[in-house]
A and B are shown apart, each in its own frame.
Chain A
């Protein structure tokens, strides 16, 4: 049986003190991953003696524009990502992804910080955040460090978070002019892993209709979300007027297999991931053409 002492704090300082003073502390935010794991006594859950509730720390609930970054507190819920004008206006891809998560009840409790630190291969916010080049700020009593989100993730359900660290901020650089984004998803989180896939696409289209700085990050396609550089390069330099979507679909499928190897799910996932990138590109191309007129 899992048993623990419950700690709660209303201030970052206090939470960092607890993390510094005690060992085997498990952080609790919205609880939509952790309390499920505790209920199921999931083998994925490490042994812990203390549960530190951070869900009532007001300092971790902000969304602000600071210079060229949007900064998001880890306790921002999926609901707020959908509603907040700063997010909808600058990163509609993040609102769209949040909208696909769970149900109203889950979106009201689940947080962006929990989605990141839980690091599920199927987490819906990770692909868009990686594609947006998000950074995470990790704070301990003694120090603070910033890592790119992509580097922070090290495996399925694994991150570089240290035992005494708290994720205190997510920083996303604003996209300049000419950027387009899209998020595509099939299947639900609970669907068999074979039937679930998502994909985030961020790209810049210049006045001539040529793609630049393309970022492609599929979710549930690889052990943990990561960018697909070969696919990205194959889109860059192409034109919205004659890009061969079939070819891009083949490239993204091949790149997935080059990372995962042939698996039992590969015959399904290859056409599915090709379809997702084609849909995303089609949507963006249509948008770009409308803007041109």
Chain B
């Protein structure tokens, strides 16, 4: 049996990339190691902590449970793609303003979950924000500030 390399083309933060990936290579590995997009974090590696969350074709997904070979033709948005023209995304600014970051390990994942929520539902209720963050663990900040930060952005875009 041979361990093959797979050629995949997909879009990352608006740019098309074509890469050779290994048969066991996860999207998380490709982002961090091949593309040097190290904002996406590896926590549990088994879908439970949310640190590796990215947006794939508009939806929040765990990049530790996706093989890069699976995503040809798809569009990926990572934390590095949130900032546009040197301006932070309103969610990023709100996380700063509301002190929603301590060690920051969970922050990229939290922001991607929040972003995916607001793409589909610009005016979520507190309950909907809580649900959107169910899969994102934070050991430091406490969820209140994080939820308030997201709520402030949701209110501002009314």
Contacts and interface: CB of A to CB of B under 8 A. Distances in A.
A36 B59 CA distance: 20
Contacts of B134: 103-104
B24 A105 contact: no
A120 B23 CA distance: 26
Interface in A197-213: none
Interface in B1-43: 1-4, 6, 23-24, 26
B67 A108 contact: no
Counting chain A residues whose Cβ lies within 8 A of the other chain, the interface size class is 20 to 34
Interface stretch (A1-9, A89-97, A122-130): A1-9
Nearest to A22: B1
Contacts of B81: none
A183 B66 CA distance: 30
Contacts of B131: 104
Interface stretch (A47-55, A60-68, A234-242, A269-277): A47-55
A105 B60 contact: yes
B145 interface: no
Interface residues of B, number: 34
A103 B131 CA distance: 8
B50 interface: yes
Nearest to A40: B46
Interface in B70-123: 70, 72-73, 113, 116-117
Interface stretch (A27-35, A140-148, A224-232, A243-251): A27-35
Contacts of B48: 190
Given A8-B70, A79-B59, A104 B113 contact: yes
Q: Looking at chain A's contact residues, is the secondary structure mostly helix, strand, loop, or mixed?
A: mixed
Interface string B45-57: 1111010010000
A55 B71 CA distance: 9
A32 B47 contact: yes
Given A31-B70, A55-B70, A56-B70, A6 B65 contact: no
A117 interface: no
A32 B73 CA distance: 21
Contact of A104 (B60, B64, B72): B60
B153 interface: no
Nearest to B50: A105
A190 B62 CA distance: 17
Contacts of A28: 67, 70
A74 B109 CA distance: 28
A32 B132 contact: no
B67 A6 contact: yes
Contacts of B132: 104
Contact of B46 (A30, A36, A51, A103): A36
A32 B46 CA distance: 8
Given A5-B2, A79-B59, A104-B117, 10 more contacts: A3-B1, A31-B70, A35-B26, A40-B46, A56-B73, A102-B47, A105-B47, A105-B53, A105-B113, A106-B135
Interface of A: 2-6, 8, 28, 30-32, 35-36, 38-40, 49-51, 53, 55-56, 79, 102-106, 108-109, 190
Closest 5 pairs between A and B when the two form their complex, measured CB to CB: A103-B135, A6-B23, A108-B59, A103-B134, A105-B135
